[in-house]
Amino acid sequence: MKPPVHGTPRLMRAINERAALRILLEKGPLTRPELSELTGLSKPTAFQLLARLQEAGLVVNDGVRAGQPGRTAEVYRVNAAAAYVAALDVTPERIGVQVADITGAVVGEAGPPAPSPEGGGLAERLRAAIGAARPPGPLRRVVIGVQGAVDPTTGRLDYATAEDMPGWQIPDLVPTLGDGLGVTVDVENDVNLVALAEQAHGAATGCPDFVLLWADEGLGAALVIGGRLHRGFFGGAGEVGYMPVPGAATARDGGRFAHHGYQALVGGPAVQDLLRSYGVHGTDFRESVAAAVRLAEGTGRAAEEAAAGLRTVAARVALGLATIASVVDPGLVVLAGNLMSVGGERLRDLVERELRVLGVERLRVRLSAVRGNPVLVGAMDLALARVRDEVFGQATRDGGPAAAAGR
């Protein structure tokens, strides 16, 4: 048996305060007796703890709770204004923005079109997008979801061209943006953020090892191993769009960013072309997939052709997933992106069947279950987790007023 871990009074106070703040976030507002019961602390200790957190500006009185036997009880909650964060989803067409307080309540949103790179520097354009969401106070952290990924060995955005992300190919991207915006910034791959959202709120809840495949105009994947997002040495884990697969050209044929690899088989344009060969037409791949699903539910020659086209799409998706599964050995794959949301349960079932044919027999296959914009959901989760650790830890270390909202 391991000996018990002993801490100094200061350390124990810090641990208790962080635990109390987490409980108030999840279950608040609470009375002092309720907080005492949930933390396991004595009522006098809980009283002293709340006094310290109020002094630090992290907890505020939320009125009284009447209508119960005994004395009227004061209730307490986390001070929502202790810190504000922003989540951004940046695409070539649009910048989606959400601003939330430290409790996670969304207090501002915007979705302005992405300004032209000629319209100002990158930080200036992002600042304007954030400003459109009208943050009620200074931001403590900003998490930005982008196509591609920052290579930690160079500090540059990689796995995305200047056409994909115009203006982002600059040295020391993260510190440059932090200096320009005047706030701590994280730049994260958008598909990685979707995986974090699925892990916390969606189809991957409770699964420590899973792969998320984002299938849309392009392809990307995210790997969660042992409950943690795996980014890789160069930041490019999950960049499967150009992964060599049978039946597709490789980079040897046309260069790194040419039309080749997994994306050439199951990217949006490839799916649209494939379904057209089965007599299914649409103005883009989404319409083509929707038409194929609708036709396949009927009878006759058109239904048979549409069903065959969907089986071929599923076989191509499964081919890449089988390759990934043979290396990562996940317990689950989550299918996300417009190809899968439009294809729905029919396409999910076909992909699972094709995986079984390829010998991947135990891998569970689920559709994405996160509502709204999953990139923003994941970015907000990451921003809140990091700012709470920072603000709560700073306050308990300092043992006094944190001035958390403005630092």
Residue 39: give the domain boundaries. Answer: 9-79
Domain boundary among 79, 102, 133: 79
Instruction: Tabulate helix, strand, coil % of the chain (nearest 5).
Output: 45, 20, 35
Residue 163 placed within a domain? yes
Say what the pLDDT of residue 405 is.
41
Same domain, 75 and 90: no
Residue 377 and residue 326 in one domain: no
Task: Fill in the amino acid letter for 391.
Answer: V
CATH number reported for the structural domain that contains residue 275 in this entry = 3.30.420.40
- Are residues 239 and 147 part of one domain? no
Q: Which pLDDT value is given to residue 401?
A: 37
pLDDT score of 162: 84
Chosen domain end from 59, 79, 99: 79
Check: CB of residue 382 under 8 Å from CB of residue 143.
yes
| Same-domain status, 106 and 223 | no
Closest C-alpha to 220, from 206, 193, 239, 247: 239
| 230-267 per-position pLDDT tens digit | 999 999 999 999 999 988 878 888 777 777 899 999 99
Asked if residue 39 and residue 141 are part of one domain, the reply reads: no
Q: How many domains does the chain have?
A: 3
* 31-43 core/surface letters (b: 16 or more CB in 10 A; e: else): bbebbbebbebee
pLDDT at residue 14, as a whole number: 84
200 domain-assigned: no
Indicate if 250 and 117 belong to the same structural domain.
no
Question: For the chain, which ranges sit under pLDDT 70?
Answer: 1-7, 67-71, 116-120, 394-407
Q: Do residues 142 and 180 share a domain?
A: yes
pLDDT of residue 396: 54
